[in-house]
């Protein structure tokens, strides 16, 4: 359409997705994570080395579809110019609703265009279902031929996540996989839409400061649940088995700081904030003792009255390392004389035999 053509010409200087390298799992070297590159429909993501570590870099082929951000397990990729709150508010109030790619030419009363149907996350879909009180709506993935296979795969992945979160409810979603006849729009609608988009473009050009909104889709979900107190969703959480030694590695490595390990004189207490957890499994992979077990937990848990998603996972009686006096958890069935922290265990293993 004319409006989309003019906007594409005016936005030749694209705002590519932004990466928070501190949270990138691939850069942390514990997981060979390249989920963003595998999901990218245009092959625009490469991994470049800097200071001995690699991180994703976006080339000129990036079309800013946002599929990479939806599939990042650590949520470290953000889209600078996509106003998810406005998209959510308009979609929640629109009836009937068809969510479609911004290239499709559909207006459907949505002033804020969706970058791509594949950019929707499970949290966003679940929050939208709750906000609309489970009234039916459609998602159109038939319009963009360039990213259709990857967008459809990403959308089905998000729908599976939303279905898991809303286990007690049926998703009221219809997928449009074949293009329908184009709905014409009037000249007044076209220029009204174009004027709105040009105004936003001017704001973006004047303000170059990019704000990394932390977990915007999760924030929308929690706000929606607060407005509909009768609905619960299942979020990712973890249990800890007897193999845990209280080393605190999960707390140190978690990109979202979802793990908290508290220590007092005679105990080590583990807490997990499932609001901050996106199930990246870094703690599971990096745990040296294999002590983590992933489970779904209802939020909000009104019976246990969890505050802000933090839940008490387990309390272990603590002992002191017999070498350095650090606080550790005694191994199940272990000899108290062998109580050593991980550092002292490694030092002992490196010593020559008989030393």
pLDDT, tens digit (0-9, with 9 covering 90-100), for 18-49: 888 888 888 776 667 889 999 998 889 988 87
Which structural domain range is residue 87 located in?
A: 2-13+80-226
What is the number of H-type helices and E-type strands within the chain? 11, 13
In this structure, are 214 and 280 located in the same domain?
no
Residue predicted with more confidence, 214 or 301 = 301
Q: What percent of the chain has pLDDT over 90?
A: 25
In this structure, are 191 and 96 located in the same domain?
yes
Tell me, yes or no, whether 163 lies in a domain: yes
In this structure, are 220 and 257 located in the same domain?
no
In this structure, are 251 and 216 located in the same domain?
no
In 3D space, the residue among 148, 150, 141, 144 whose CA is nearest the CA of residue 177 turns out to be: 141
In this structure, are 90 and 195 located in the same domain?
yes
Would you say 137 and 174 are in contact if contact means Cβ atoms under 8 Å apart? yes
Whether the CA torsion 227, 233, 235, 239 is positive or negative: it is positive
H-helix or E-strand spanning residue 310: strand 310-320
Tell me, yes or no, whether 111 lies in a domain: yes
Residue with tokens 């209280």: 246
In this structure, are 251 and 285 located in the same domain?
yes
In this structure, are 250 and 344 located in the same domain?
yes
Phi (first) and psi of residue 272, to 5 degrees: -135, 125
Q: How far apart are CA 21 and CA 25, in angstroms?
A: 9
* pLDDT level of residue 308 (50, 70, 90 thresholds): low
Tell me, yes or no, whether 345 lies in a domain: yes
pTM of the model: 0.78
- The torsion defined by the Cα of 165, 102, 18 and 47, in degrees rounded to 10, comes to 90
In this structure, are 183 and 260 located in the same domain?
no
Tell me, yes or no, whether 184 lies in a domain: yes
Q: How many domains does the chain have?
A: 2
Would you say 276 and 311 are in contact if contact means Cβ atoms under 8 Å apart? no
Residue predicted with more confidence, 288 or 111 = 288
In this structure, are 296 and 330 located in the same domain?
yes
Q: How far apart are CA 14 and CA 3, in angstroms?
A: 17
Residue range 61-79, pLDDT digits in tens: 888 889 999 999 989 898 8
In this structure, are 195 and 238 located in the same domain?
no
In this structure, are 163 and 189 located in the same domain?
yes
Residue range 77-123, pLDDT digits in tens: 988 888 899 899 999 998 888 888 766 545 455 666 788 889 999 99
pLDDT of residue 157: 92
Domain boundary among the residues 160, 194, 226 is at 226
Residue range 208-260, pLDDT digits in tens: 444 445 578 999 999 999 999 889 899 999 999 988 888 888 998 898 899 99
In this structure, are 329 and 288 located in the same domain?
yes
Tell me, yes or no, whether 355 lies in a domain: no
Tell me, yes or no, whether 59 lies in a domain: no
Tell me, yes or no, whether 155 lies in a domain: yes
Domain boundary among the residues 195, 226, 257 is at 226
Whether the CA torsion 207, 21, 102, 60 is positive or negative: it is positive
Range with lowest mean pLDDT among 1-5, 174-178, 179-183, 230-234? 179-183
In 3D space, the residue among 140, 136, 83 whose CA is nearest the CA of residue 111 turns out to be: 83
Tell me, yes or no, whether 334 lies in a domain: yes
Mean pLDDT of 155-159: 93
Domain boundary among the residues 226, 243, 262 is at 226
Q: How far apart are CA 328 and CA 340, in angstroms?
A: 7
């Amino acid at each position: 359409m004319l409006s989309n053509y003019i906007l594409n010409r005016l936005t030749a200087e694209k705002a590519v997705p932004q990466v928070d390298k501190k949270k990138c799992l691939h850069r942390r070297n514990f997981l060979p994570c390249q989920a963003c590159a595998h999901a990218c429909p245009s092959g625009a993501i490469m991994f470049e080395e800097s200071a001995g570590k690699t991180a994703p870099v976006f080339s000129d082929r990036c079309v800013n579809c946002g599929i990479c951000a939806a599939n990042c397990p650590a949520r470290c990729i953000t889209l600078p110019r996509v106003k998810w709150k406005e998209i959510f508010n308009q979609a929640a109030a629109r009836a009937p609703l068809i969510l479609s790619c911004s290239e499709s030419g559909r207006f459907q009363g949505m002033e804020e265009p969706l970058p791509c149907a594949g950019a929707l996350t499970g949290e966003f879909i679940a929050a939208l279902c709750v906000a609309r009180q489970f009234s039916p709506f459609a998602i159109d993935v038939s319009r963009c031929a360039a990213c259709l296979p990857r967008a459809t795969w990403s959308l089905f992945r998000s729908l599976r996540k939303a279905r898991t979160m809303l286990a007690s409810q049926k998703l009221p979603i219809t997928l449009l996989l074949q293009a329908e006849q184009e709905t014409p729009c009037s000249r007044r609608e076209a220029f009204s839409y174009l004027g709105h988009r040009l105004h936003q473009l001017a704001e973006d050009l004047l303000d170059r400061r990019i704000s990394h909104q932390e977990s915007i889709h999760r924030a929308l979900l929690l706000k929606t649940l607060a407005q509909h107190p009768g609905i619960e969703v299942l979020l990712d959480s973890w249990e800890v088995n007897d193999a845990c030694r209280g080393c605190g590695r999960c707390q140190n490595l978690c990109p979202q700081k979802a793990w908290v390990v508290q220590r007092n004189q005679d105990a080590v207490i583990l807490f997990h904030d499932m609001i901050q957890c996106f199930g990246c499994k870094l703690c599971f992979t990096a745990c040296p003792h294999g002590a983590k077990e992933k489970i779904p937990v209802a939020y909000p848990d009104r019976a246990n009255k969890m505050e802000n998603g933090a839940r008490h996972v387990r309390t272990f009686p603590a002992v002191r390392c017999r070498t350095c006096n650090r606080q550790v958890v005694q191994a199940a069935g272990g000899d108290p004389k062998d109580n050593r922290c991980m550092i002292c265990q490694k030092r002992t293993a490196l010593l020559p035999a008989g030393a």
